[in-house]
């Protein structure tokens, strides 16, 4: 067993991650930035800024552990309801993150993908995202999916429209429609479904995240706010996942 897969759990017992059972796809709902800031009497923007630091650490650790796909829920179709200044902070942080990190991510073999419709984002944001996707497009070590203006229902509405369009143009037939075909009309086309969905910060809901893809995902919740989430928390979540009995509706 490689040393990097040995960790201390609760600072007491050592626990060992199984190198052969690292989830192929981990998806994270990065929650709690606002409450983290409020608790420290800081503006919410500082919570989001601290959240970006956590992203850096978690991408690095996910790659080190051999996770193939890391999906981060960064902005939902419902997040437009937030005050204008918070929206602008989030867009600015995204641009800053990409400007600062893309070269390093590229060197580290990270391939950036966008899940969601970014056409409503400020043009600078769209351009940085397109640039990041292009620069990193040949990388194979880890896929970093940024879910931006993403909603599970919106994704399915979009897929239905695309399918209807292809039916009309007779590119596909009614009898071609099955689960595999639908999976090819959504943003995660060609990617494995998430094995593990992590939501820090105490809430236990899915919030319109990956509704089609999470049919058999394992969930892991914790009370830690996203800015305080560490690589050890990621390891704990994976350890917990590795000890689940996944039956996919069957019997063992």
Whether residue 106 lies in the annotated active site: no
Orientation of helix 84-107 relative to helix 44-65, angle to 10°: 20
Q: Return the range that interacts with ligand FPP (CB under 6 A); candidates 90-98, 123-131, 166-174, 189-197.
A: 90-98
Shortest distance in whole angstroms from residue 121 CB to ligand FPP: 12
227 burial level (CB within 10 Å; 0-12, 13-18, 19+): buried
51 binds ligand FPP (CB under 6 A): yes
154 catalytic? Reply is no
Binding site listing for Mg(2+): 31, 218
Annotated binding site: 31-36, 44, 48, 76-78, 80, 82, 199, 205-207, 218
Measured distance CA(222)–CA(229) in Å, rounded: 9
3-state secondary structure of 110: strand
Give the active site residue among 79, 106, 108, 139.
79
CB 182 within 8 A of CB 208: no
Question: CB count, 10 Å around CB of 144?
Answer: 22
Q: With binding defined as CB under 6 A, does residue 30 bind ligand FPP?
A: yes
Q: Which is nearer to ligand FPP, 64 or 100 (CB)?
A: 100
The values of phi and psi at residue 2, to 5°, are -70, 145
Binding segment toward ligand FPP, per CB under 6 A, in 88-96, 158-166, 183-191, 228-236: 88-96
Structural tokens at position 192: 């494995």
Binding site for ligand FPP (CB under 6 A): 30-35, 48, 51-52, 55, 72, 74, 79, 90, 93-94, 97, 146
């Amino acid at each position: 067993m490689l040393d990097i897969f040995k960790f201390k759990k609760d600072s007491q017992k050592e626990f060992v991650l199984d190198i052969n059972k690292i989830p192929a796809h981990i998806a994270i709902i990065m929650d709690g930035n606002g409450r983290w800031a409020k608790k420290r009497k800081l503006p919410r923007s500082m919570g989001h800024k601290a959240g970006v630091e956590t992203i850096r650490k978690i991408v690095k650790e996910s790659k080190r552990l051999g996770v193939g796909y890391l999906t981060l829920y960064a902005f939902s179709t419902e997040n437009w309801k937030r005050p204008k200044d918070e929206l602008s902070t989030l867009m600015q942080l995204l641009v800053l993150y990409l400007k600062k990190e893309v070269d390093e991510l590229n060197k580290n073999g990270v391939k950036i993908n966008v899940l969601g419709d970014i056409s409503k984002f400020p043009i600078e944001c769209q351009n940085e995202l397109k640039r990041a996707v292009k620069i990193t497009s040949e990388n194979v070590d880890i896929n970093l999916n940024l879910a931006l203006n993403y909603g599970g229902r919106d994704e399915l509405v979009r897929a239905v429209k695309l399918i209807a369009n292809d039916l009309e143009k007779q590119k596909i037939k009614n009898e071609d429609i099955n689960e595999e075909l639908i999976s090819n009309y959504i943003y995660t086309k060609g990617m494995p479904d998430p094995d593990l969905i992590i939501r820090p910060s105490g809430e236990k809901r899915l919030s319109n995240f990956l509704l089609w893809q999470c049919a058999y995902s394992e969930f892991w919740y914790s009370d830690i706010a996203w800015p305080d989430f560490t690589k050890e928390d990621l390891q704990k979540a994976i350890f917990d996942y590795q000890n689940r009995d996944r039956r996919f509706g069957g019997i063992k």
